[in-house]
Amino acid sequence: DTGVSQNPRHKITKRGQNVTFRCDPISEHNRLYWYRQTLGQGPEFLTYFQNEAQLEKSRLLSDRFSAERPKGSFSTLEIQRTEQGDSAMYLCASSLVGVETQYFGPGTRLLVL
Amino acid sequence: RKEVEQDPGPFNVPEGATVAFNCTYSNSASQSFFWYRQDCRKEPKLLMSVYSSGNEDGRFTAQLNRASQYISLLIRDSKLSDSATYLCVVRLSGTYKYIFGTGTRLKVLA
């Protein structure tokens, strides 16, 4: 079991560009979560999937943010037309249905210049 | 009012001390409760779930008070390695959306 992996680990982009992050959950984990964390704050829920179905999403995940989990395995989070306020750590976590322990990946740190 | 509130600290305590953190939640429909630990520049990791009857894991004790809508974490005999941010997490009934508090920073001093 290799744990949750995220790529890239760091991303620097210019304002207005699109970025895409990838999360590979622990194999056989059917739930997958995306969070955003800024300095001095706890992780903020963005969205979660059960298998390939996106079951809930935050109001933050609107127009510029989109997430997919097409085959119920890895997931991608895309941010379009990035803004400086999008600079944050983007965390992915996975869990098994029926078990509430979430296992987090190392995160992707985004800096928008 | 934030859904989950914690004192951000930092709590600076000497080795061997006992320290307690509280966390309050605003929604009475909250169903599941957890403490996660996050080391500097690392991802959060589950420390312990919090059960209605309270539960203990070694030096760590968690308690839930549904009437007052708060959970607590007690750490006995603090170690230098306990230095971290402790995140309070709540899940509402009928959803698998987890709400994290801002975290409480603990520094255990030699």
* Whether A107 contacts A6, CB under 8 Å: yes
* Whether A81 contacts A66, CB under 8 Å: no
A43 interfaces chain B, CB cutoff of 8 Å? yes
* pLDDT of the residue at A1: 54
The sign of the dihedral angle between the CA atoms of B94, B42, B77, B107 is negative
Percent of chain A with pLDDT over 90: 88
Residues 91-110 of A with CB under 8 A from B: 91, 100-102, 104-107
Comparing CA positions, the residue from B11, B8, B6 lying closest to residue B106 is: B11
* Whether B62 contacts B55, CB under 8 Å: yes
Structure confidence by residue, pLDDT tens digits, A52-102? 999 999 987 778 999 999 988 999 999 999 999 999 999 999 999 889 999
Residues of A within 8 A of B8 (CB-CB) are 40
CB pairs under 8 A between A and B: 47
